[in-house]
Amino acid sequence: MRQILFYMSSLQLMHELSLCQNIVELMEIEAKRQNFLSVKEVYLEIGSLACVEIEAMRFAFDAAVKGSVAEGAMLKMIEVEAMGYCRGCNLRQKIVFRYDSCSVCANYPLEIVEGEQMKIRHLEVC
């Protein structure tokens, strides 16, 4: 019997890995559609509430792009602050945690209007 150790939570990593596999699929489709051979840089927008770990993301990305159109590409991650909307006072505001209450009228919970998403902002290709 052998003991196998993981240097980070393997469940968290599975999450990033499946996100990165989706990104690779999108890039492969885009490569055919827009006729490019390789991706050099990938710019991702990651919302602060997207439940994505930056370090796990780098690790998963390098694994997912092997043998794809983006093999060896640089991953640039842009963190997007979460924004909430308060129905009580119609104010948009920054939020740190999902269940933050309104900083003005203490209404709760705020409607999350930004910060849960993860998307490709753009690619540098050749």
Binding residues (CB under 5 A) for Zn ion: these are 86, 88-89, 102, 104-105, 107
Q: How far is the CB of 104 from Zn ion (least distance, A)?
A: 5
Q: What DSSP letter does each residue of 53-66 carry, written as one string?
A: -HHHHHHHHHHHTT
Residue among 52 and 102 whose Cβ is closer to Zn ion: 102
- 31 touches 73 (CB < 8 A): no
Task: Pick between residue 40 and residue 92 the one whose CB is nearest to Zn ion.
Answer: 92
Report, in Å, the least distance between residue 117 CB and Zn ion: 23
Q: Which is nearer to Zn ion, 72 or 88 (CB)?
A: 88
CB 115 within 8 A of CB 49: yes
* In the complex, minimum distance from the CB of residue 80 to Zn ion, in angstroms, rounded to a whole number: 22
Neighbour count for residue 14 (Cβ, 10 Å): 12
* Contacts with 85 (C-beta within 8 Å, 6 or more apart), sequence order: 91, 92, 110, 111, 112, 113
Environment class of 82 (CB within 10 Å of its CB; exposed 0-12, middle 13-18, buried 19+) = buried
Nearer to Zn ion among residue 38 and residue 107 (C-beta): 107
- Shortest Cβ distance from residue 102 to Zn ion (Å)? 3
